[in-house]
Amino acid sequence: MRILVAVATRHGATREIAEHLAGSVGSAMTDAGAAADVEVRDVGLVPSLEGFDAVLLGSPVANGQWLAPARAFAESFSDGLRWLPVWLFTRGPVAAGHEPARELVRQLAARDHRVFDGTDDRPLIRAWGHEIGTILAVAAVAESTL
């Protein structure tokens, strides 16, 4: 199974979150007996979703919304993303009651969206990545038995 972790970042902190997620997803899948190829890429360096089986998409918040490259990625690949399992993550902080990716969650039928204040949330990031990896592993193992 091939998983894309697409990320927009300003200063690198959101990419660190993406790297931690990728590692956790990959190890959870391997632990569950499913082969995983997890790639972290800048949203601007993804020419196509072809060959990917799932996508994690993340961005920091600037002026209360995701960065323009992340929003453009979601818009440009929205048709393909609706056919894949998708998870969204935001690097905060986010004001209470404000959901910067609410519309994207709906538009892409994302399975979940999490907000992380930063890389200090490593245990939460890793736990969520492990949860996603387990979900994908179950799907991969079930598909291989068909």
99 has pLDDT over 90: no
- Tell me what percent of the residues of the chain surpass a pLDDT of 90: 79
Per-residue pLDDT, 120: 75
The whole-chain average pLDDT of the chain stands at: 92
Per-residue pLDDT, 8: 97
First to last CA, the chain: 15
* Distance in angstroms (rounded) separating the CA atoms of residues 59 and 43: 9
* Distance in angstroms (rounded) separating the CA atoms of residues 18 and 57: 9
Retrieve residue 110's tokens: 């994302």
**CA geometry: angle 102, 115, 10, nearest 5 deg:** 95
Pairing mode, strands 54-62 and 2-7: parallel
**What residues contact residue 32 under an 8 Å CB cut-off, 6+ apart?**
133, 134, 137, 138, 141
Per-residue pLDDT, 140: 86
Per-residue pLDDT, 60: 94
Q: For residue 129, with 0-12 CB atoms within 10 Å meaning exposed, 13-18 middle and 19 or more buried, which class applies?
A: buried
Tens of pLDDT, residues 51-96: 999 999 999 998 888 999 999 999 999 999 999 999 999 998 777 6
